Structure 1
Amino acid sequence: MRKTFLFGVLVCSFLSLQAQKNTNEDPYTRPKMVVGIVVDQMRYDYLVRFWDKYENDGFKRMVREGFNCQNNHFNYIPTKTAAGHASVYTGSTPKTHGIIGNDWYDKVEDRMVYCAEDATVKSLGTESDAGLMSPRRMLASTVTDQLKLATVSKGKVIGISLKDRGAILPAGHAADAAYWFHGKDEGAWITSTYYMNELPKWVEKFNKSKAAEDYKKSWKPLYDIDTYTESIADNNPYEGAFAGEKAPTFPHDLPKLWKDNGEFDLLKSTPFGNSLTVDFSIAAIEGEDLGQDNITDFLAISFSATDYVGHRFGVSAKETEDTYLRLDQDLARLFSYLDKEVGKGEYTVFLTADHAAVEVPSYLESMEIPGGYFSKKEFIDPLNAFLKEKFGSDKLIKNLSNEQIFLDQALLKNLGLSSSVVEEAIATEVKNYKNVAEAYTGTAMRNQEFTHGLASRLQMGYNYKRSGDVLLVLDPGYIASSSRTGTTHGSGHAYDTHTPLLFFGKGINHGATVKRTEIPDIANTISALLGITFPSGKSGEPIQEVIE
């Protein structure tokens, strides 16, 4: 009996000590640096399709050492670049953060507006208007904003991308800087006076180094092209050639193509654009002393060249395969630098995409798989004729963009027409039109709650003040394009929503899950990891399995 009693006392003491130990543990992880990586237009299956050709220190390292969310999706429509970057970093959707596309029709200004345009600022690093940008059209805070607040601005935040929107929106409103690449005949990294009054010396030095010019060379396959067995034939009718090329085939002679393809802008449509992005990111880490103390810094990097390549060549092109194999090497180079300068195990990384992409519809057609092209003219002409017959005017539609119809509200008022009645009539009519799968009214988006399917995704992308009066969903595999080459994105179908989500580094578990995760979960997971306040528009949840 005495032995049993003593054993019980020892067990209770041990459990008490463990509880005390757990209570004393910090309720957060403090990496010296967080690196957020968005790969523009990366489908999840690129991780699997090219796996055997990836080397060990890029994508494979993230999977091997970190956590792989294999069933990660966008939970809203439209799956556009600006909306994707904003959603990744705000932990919300266009419904809340207001970035409903790359550009959209503004009902107040009565014109198309760009997601990052800002005429109140000035360009830095160029005399052109390419720097007239800021995050002011984004309506919610980002995880990067919350880090600035949590550290009373001691933690540095910098965004970098070839695209202005890929740098600006992730960096947030309170960032120290966002830099994007201005091509044409300049080939320089630029910013705006929203962030600073003059370029830092390290940026000026980088631009003067002519680092971009070093990539003015022939784009040849990284490996023997005959080993690119995950792709279709190099010469095929589903890819778009550069101006001046007779066929969209390797090698692509950049010096020869230079003048006809926008000079330095040409680099954006090659994997060299991603390599240049890593070069500049490494210069930023060094120039800003990122990750050199115990106050967490944040570097938001977006690799845009993958999107340009995809739009031109498509999902199954050898150029796309080569671009990802080269990106894998660029990631390994970035991680190696972080290991050396910040410290292995001292930084945290996540990698995802801003959207995925559909197979080239003309290629789908050749395979007898549903897919094709939606004609705006074949849609709008009969719709206007219908509106003329039913309501007496064929001028009721003010704008059709991003698969959204905007009505002329002033004209409706003058004619004594109810917007909701006209919306419903249009939605009912166009459901019978070719390649339109579904149509929903803005009235329904505001007054009903949709919990599943495409209607739910439309609602999560519907912003009360900015979105259209009738929202369209095209049939799977169909895109609104006049070109039969290259791919695009924007739908709520799985080929556009399924993207990779990888975490690795300090505070991250090793493992994988096939449980559904969603894009707004990312910022909230990082916020929980750091122990900071969630972004102001939070709709996602932290992914529990990811965090130690």
Structure 2
Amino acid sequence: MRFIKYVTSFIAFIAISSTANAENHSNTKSGKPKLVVAISVDQFSADLFSEYRSSFTSGLKRLSDGAVFPAGYQSHAATETCPGHATIMTGVHAGRAGIIANNWIDLDVKREDKTIYCAEDPRIEGTSFGSIVTASQDSYVASAWHLLVPTLGERLKQVSPKSRNVAVSGKDRAALMMGGNDVDAIYWWKGKGFTTLKGQSVAPAIGSLNATIGETIDKARPPFAIPAHCKARNRKITINDQQSVGEYAFQRPEGASRIFRGSPDFDSATVSAALALVQSMKLGQGEATDILSIGLSATDYIGHAFGTGGLEMCIQMTELDRNLGELFSALDQQNIDYIAMLTSDHGGHDLPERLRAQGVPEAQRIDPKLHSKDIGEQIRQALSLTGDEPLLHADSPFGDYYISLSLDAETKAKVKAEAIRILTRHPQVHAVLDGADLAAMPMPRGPVEEWTMAERARASYHPERSGDFIVLLNKAVTPIARTGLGYVATHGSPWDYDRQVPILFWRQGMTYFEQPLSVKTVDIAPTLAAIIDLEIATDETDGRCLDIDGGEGDSCQ
């Protein structure tokens, strides 16, 4: 049984009809829509959209009948969740937004743990996110404080006080980066239900949904039925002696709520939360246009846990399509005039063990010694430096590296030069970029698919937060040396499999068209702004308005 059916009693007002689809709409809506529904599907690459497009029959089919930009780009090199979501509703590159990665290092911070989480509030003393993989969700206070620019919803509220800016997601960083700091309601998953900002109470509608989820989440769940087009992908891939993927259909034993996030049921719960907010707040039914940002996170958890090429992802694509169909059908039943946009925060790369069996012999896992501690020790020996304080700090093998603040300027320069020399010679490293060089570069322009590696890194570089140098790995190198439960594949590279994402728009009766030339996620906010008659100064965005009127009109005018 699919999870959304567990909450049917709670959202009975929806009256979902399985036959409701785009064909029910006969005329193009005119004027401003009453609701903007901005959807981000975490780790939904352009490759996944292309691979499964012919199998979509519901929500993703509807979106595919609107304005389709299959070659969208998250332009930057740091293709992670927080930077990607920071571009979608702001219209600026991740570096300009100040969100350079999921985590970065601040050696000046007055606490033992120098790792900064993109969605933690540094104003709250005594809290720390620590490791993004292992940290307790109770160890930090979540907020959008690190986001340096306004979102579309925040801009709209400034000129239209009656407009509501609402966000809900499976991840706090997705909701916060799309909603921003000025929100009327914001929710993300925590534990066994949805929570909100510190100091704010959970709305009764979400509280009721949480109670319903709590009654079902620990119950055993039978496997999903395997769609016919997924059967060829039902094949075991061995990763190590204790672990394999490729043939799991998301069945759960009694009491296994801990693996709920890595299943299609997680998106069902998020859709239910979004619809609960639509109903309780009457979004799209007032005088002014409202913004609803939805972050669907299950695809990302499934991609990390099982890779992108097996049975698990095939089932998830089928269920994602169905969940989106239920979202749109519910909005249709309430006769809401809405425009829907769907994109992703980044793409994803399959696990190397499966890639090698599918014609990618260069696919490999990262050298476990390619990290800041080992590189720092090599530098210490090469330069005959004394002491035991770490010379380098980094959150992962790739991305931003920071040099110890205890070094004098001359020694720091030598450490940087030696680090770049050692790393550049490593067979798995594509490039090492000096932060000073990136800081001197203008923000890149021109065709995004032609950007150099330095230009891609510049788009996610911020002079006060980025590292002294940035490490970019070779194509097909997975930066996971040792796999674990829920973590066998990932993203984060500057390569197009991680950068390319679909960008789709749909509104009642709009003329279908498909534009294969490249566009960017920073184009989304100015495109939506034009449709709701919200003016954004050209110097306040890195994107451009996309004309999504497939007829003689121009939606940018």
**Aligned residue for 2:163?**
155
Amino acid corresponding to residue 371 of structure 1 in structure 2: A
**Aligned residue for 2:13?**
none
**Aligned residue for 2:402?**
406
Q: For the pair shown, which has the larger CA radius of gyration, 1 or 2?
A: 1
**Aligned residue for 1:19?**
none
Amino acid corresponding to residue 492 of structure 2 in structure 1: G
Cα offsets for 1:483-503 (capped at 9, x unmatched) = 357320001101101111100
Deviation at 1:532, TM superposition (A): 1.3
Deviation at 1:229, TM superposition (A): 4.7
* SS of match in other structure, 1:473: strand
Q: Give the whole-Å Cα distance in 2 for the aligned partners of 1:239 and 1:336.
A: 44
Cα offsets for 1:192-212 (capped at 9, x unmatched) = 236x3x222222222223467
**Aligned residue for 1:87?**
87
Identity score, percent: 24
**Aligned residue for 1:521?**
523
**Aligned residue for 2:196?**
191
**Residues 131/409 of structure 1: CA separation in 2 closer, same or farther (3 Å cut):** closer
Q: Does 1:180 align with 2:188?
A: yes
From 432, 435, 445, the counterpart of 2:438 = 445
Alignment of 1:454-473 (within 5 A): 454-473=453-472
* SS of match in other structure, 1:70: strand
Q: Give the whole-Å Cα distance in 1 for the aligned partners of 2:411 and 2:296.
A: 47
Contact 2:87 2:522 in 1 (8 A): yes
Deviation at 1:427, TM superposition (A): 2.1
Contact 1:239 1:314 in 2 (8 A): no
**Aligned residue for 1:330?**
323
Deviation at 1:375, TM superposition (A): 2.2
**Residues 512/398 of structure 1: CA separation in 2 closer, same or farther (3 Å cut):** same
**Aligned residue for 2:345?**
354
TM-score between both structures, scaled by the size of structure 2: 0.82
**Aligned residue for 1:426?**
419
Q: Does 1:203 align with 2:196?
A: no
Contact 1:426 1:470 in 2 (8 A): no
Amino acid corresponding to residue 179 of structure 1 in structure 2: Y
From 240, 247, 251, the counterpart of 1:253 = 251
From 364, 367, 375, the counterpart of 1:372 = 364
Q: Give the whole-Å Cα distance in 2 for the aligned partners of 1:130 and 1:30.
A: 42
Q: Give the whole-Å Cα distance in 2 for the aligned partners of 1:38 and 1:99.
A: 17
**Residues 141/507 of structure 1: CA separation in 2 closer, same or farther (3 Å cut):** farther
RMSD, aligned CA: 2.9
Bigger helix share: 1
From 511, 514, 524, the counterpart of 1:512 = 514
Cα offsets for 1:327-367 (capped at 9, x unmatched) = 10111111011112143xx1111000010101212222334
Q: Give the whole-Å Cα distance in 1 for the aligned partners of 2:509 and 2:141.
A: 38
Deviation at 1:247, TM superposition (A): 6.9
Q: Does 1:141 align with 2:150?
A: yes
Deviation at 1:538, TM superposition (A): 1.6
Q: Give the whole-Å Cα distance in 1 for the aligned partners of 2:140 and 2:376.
A: 40
Amino acid corresponding to residue 252 of structure 2 in structure 1: L
Which deviates further from its counterpart, 491-500 or 91-100?
91-100
Q: Give the whole-Å Cα distance in 2 for the aligned partners of 1:151 and 1:109.
A: 38
From 115, 118, 121, the counterpart of 1:115 = 118
Alignment of 1:288-327 (within 5 A): 288-327=281-320
Q: Does 1:272 align with 2:265?
A: yes
Cα offsets for 1:239-278 (capped at 9, x unmatched) = 9999xxx97634443134x35xxx3x32110000011111
**Aligned residue for 1:21?**
none
**Aligned residue for 2:238?**
237
Q: Give the whole-Å Cα distance in 2 for the aligned partners of 1:29 and 1:169.
A: 28
Which deviates further from its counterpart, 351-360 or 334-343?
334-343
**Residues 129/533 of structure 1: CA separation in 2 closer, same or farther (3 Å cut):** farther
**Residues 377/430 of structure 1: CA separation in 2 closer, same or farther (3 Å cut):** same
Deviation at 1:285, TM superposition (A): 0.5
Contact 1:230 1:316 in 2 (8 A): no
Q: Give the whole-Å Cα distance in 2 for the aligned partners of 1:474 and 1:247.
A: 25
Deviation at 1:385, TM superposition (A): 2.1
Q: Give the whole-Å Cα distance in 1 for the aligned partners of 2:443 and 2:383.
A: 29
Q: Give the whole-Å Cα distance in 1 for the aligned partners of 2:332 and 2:176.
A: 26
Alignment of 1:37-52 (within 5 A): 37-52=39-54
Contact 2:249 2:315 in 1 (8 A): no
Alignment of 1:23-38 (within 5 A): 29-38=31-40
Q: Give the whole-Å Cα distance in 2 for the aligned partners of 1:59 and 1:327.
A: 8
**Aligned residue for 1:22?**
none
Deviation at 1:544, TM superposition (A): 2.8
TM-score between both structures, scaled by the size of structure 1: 0.83
Contact 1:396 1:411 in 2 (8 A): no
Q: Give the whole-Å Cα distance in 1 for the aligned partners of 2:137 and 2:443.
A: 45
Q: How many residues align?
A: 495
Deviation at 1:116, TM superposition (A): 1.3
Amino acid corresponding to residue 524 of structure 1 in structure 2: P
Amino acid corresponding to residue 397 of structure 1 in structure 2: L
Which deviates further from its counterpart, 355-364 or 313-322?
355-364
Deviation at 1:60, TM superposition (A): 1.1
Contact 2:83 2:94 in 1 (8 A): yes
Which ranges of 4 or more aligned residues in structure 1 deviate by more than 6 Å? 239-242
Deviation at 1:78, TM superposition (A): 0.4
Amino acid corresponding to residue 394 of structure 2 in structure 1: L
* SS of match in other structure, 2:39: strand
Q: Give the whole-Å Cα distance in 1 for the aligned partners of 2:501 and 2:393.
A: 31
Amino acid corresponding to residue 455 of structure 2 in structure 1: S
Q: Give the whole-Å Cα distance in 2 for the aligned partners of 1:247 and 1:426.
A: 37
Amino acid corresponding to residue 145 of structure 2 in structure 1: R
From 393, 397, 400, the counterpart of 2:391 = 397
Contact 2:137 2:190 in 1 (8 A): no
Structure 1: gaps of 5 or more residues: 1-27
Q: Give the whole-Å Cα distance in 1 for the aligned partners of 2:89 and 2:514.
A: 22
Contact 1:134 1:168 in 2 (8 A): yes
Deviation at 1:391, TM superposition (A): 6.3
Q: Give the whole-Å Cα distance in 1 for the aligned partners of 2:157 and 2:264.
A: 33
**Residues 51/145 of structure 1: CA separation in 2 closer, same or farther (3 Å cut):** same
Deviation at 1:395, TM superposition (A): 5.0
Deviation at 1:100, TM superposition (A): 1.4
* SS of match in other structure, 2:101: coil
Which deviates further from its counterpart, 72-81 or 533-542?
533-542
Contact 1:374 1:480 in 2 (8 A): yes
**Aligned residue for 2:15?**
none
Deviation at 1:301, TM superposition (A): 0.4
Cα offsets for 1:527-546 (capped at 9, x unmatched) = 12222133885211111345
Amino acid corresponding to residue 53 of structure 1 in structure 2: S
